[in-house]
Amino acid sequence: MLLEIGVALLLAKILGFAFEKLKQPAVIGEILTGIVVGPFIAGKLFGMKYLSPVTEGLGEMGIILLLFISGLEIGVDEIKTAGKKGLLTSLFDVSIAFLFGVIAGHILGYDIRTSIAIGNIMVATSVGITVRTLMEMHALHSKVGELILTVAVLDDVLGIVVLSITLGQGEPAMLIFKIFIFFLIFMAAVLIIRRMRGIKIGIPRLMLTAAIAFAFIFSAVAVDLGLAAVTGAFFAGLIFSNLPQRRRIDDFMRQMGEVFLIPLFFIWVGASFDFNALGDMGKLVLLFIPMALMGKIIGCSAGAKVCGFRARDALAVGVGMMPRMEVALVVVTIEMSMKIFNDALAHQVLASTILLVIVSSLITPPLLKIVYRGESSEKQGS
């Protein structure tokens, strides 16, 4: 087990660095590491059937930290200042992307719960690649760039809410009541944390330890209320974003998470990749990836157009929101753990999601450079 973790982390760092040099996300290298050290390559060489339960458990802790960091970076204040245009575009985006997923599941003949689970996967967005591309184009602070960043912030929040509602355990009326209780606890915690802003604590690193502890405790509260653990982690991050030590907590969590726990999650995702599923996923992947890409393009473009953006700028927003990354993989692994898919379909959906991550990461930069003309050139043209 110790050898497995050590080799996996080292190989993940090397492959992640190699993909960054190729101007691709490091997470692809981490997923590839999981495929290499998993049962279908290293397993056949050394007789292993699965990664050790310890590695899987540490990976699950990595999910908690990843979502806590997301909430910490977004922050309650940023959500408040996102603006009507960002909120409207995000509502279009989330609802249409989710609908496209449900439609895809229905076309493939899946039941409503499975179709909803596919819709949840399609809601997720990761704009790290888009942000880097916009920076290269000197367009990050253009109207298009600012709307993409705003919608990305709100998408994370709305995506977590949709995930909680659709995957919550229990009767609908009881689930709504539990979600109401959860948000009451969340708002109370925000008020308490804000009152603690001026308090000086004499115990070294207590705030850092408290942040880690609260991430896990709030995750447990979410699970007890029938919600996903990642929901609790995300909102725990939002709560701690109100502290003046926010940046210090963020730096600490990133160092611990990105060096150790978070890569183990993506390694575990890669190790779960079942090559036997590739032969039976033809119809699924042929529909899953196009519907996932079109859902984002149509949803975001429609929202931006309603907000007064010109057609080409609106399309650029839609293209910029196509990439899927961490959250999509988190969602699919949560759904697998909840046994929403049968074993064969679970591996097919996971494989399709990994392919979606790779395809969307590769095609977004060139498409965005083609679609986005730039505000200065449009002014000159007009």
Q: Which of 169-173, 201-205, 335-339 has the lowest mean pLDDT?
A: 169-173
Average pLDDT, the chain: 84
What is the predicted pLDDT for the residue at 266?
A: 84
Asked, for residue 327, whether it belongs to a domain, the answer is yes
Q: What is the domain range of residue 283?
A: 74-246+276-374
What was the pLDDT predicted at 202?
A: 67
Instruction: Give whichever of 128-132, 196-200, 254-258 has the largest mean pLDDT.
Output: 254-258
Count of structural domains, the chain: 1
Q: Tell me if 294 is assigned to some domain.
A: yes
Indicate whether 128 belongs to any domain.
yes
For the stretch 305-320, pLDDT in tens is: 999 999 999 999 999 9
Mean pLDDT of the 56-73 span: 86
Output the six-digit token pair for 37.
């050290």
Check residues 207 and 380 and name the one with the higher pLDDT: 207
Residue 94 counted as domain residue: yes
Residue 376 confidence (pLDDT) above 50: no
Is residue 290 in a domain? yes
Assigned domain for 78 exists: yes
Q: Residue 360 falls within a domain, yes or no?
A: yes
> Is pLDDT above 80 for 268?
yes
Say what the pLDDT of residue 171 is. 66
Q: Flag whether 9 is in a domain.
A: no
Q: What is the mean pLDDT of residues 294-311?
A: 94
Percent of the chain with pLDDT over 90: 32
Residue 132: what residue type?
A: R
Report the CATH number at residue 124. 1.20.1530.20
Supply the pLDDT for residue 173. Answer: 72
**Residue 380: pLDDT band by 50, 70, 90 thresholds?**
very low
What confidence score (pLDDT) does residue 41 get? 80
Top-confidence range, 149-158, 314-323, 357-366: 314-323
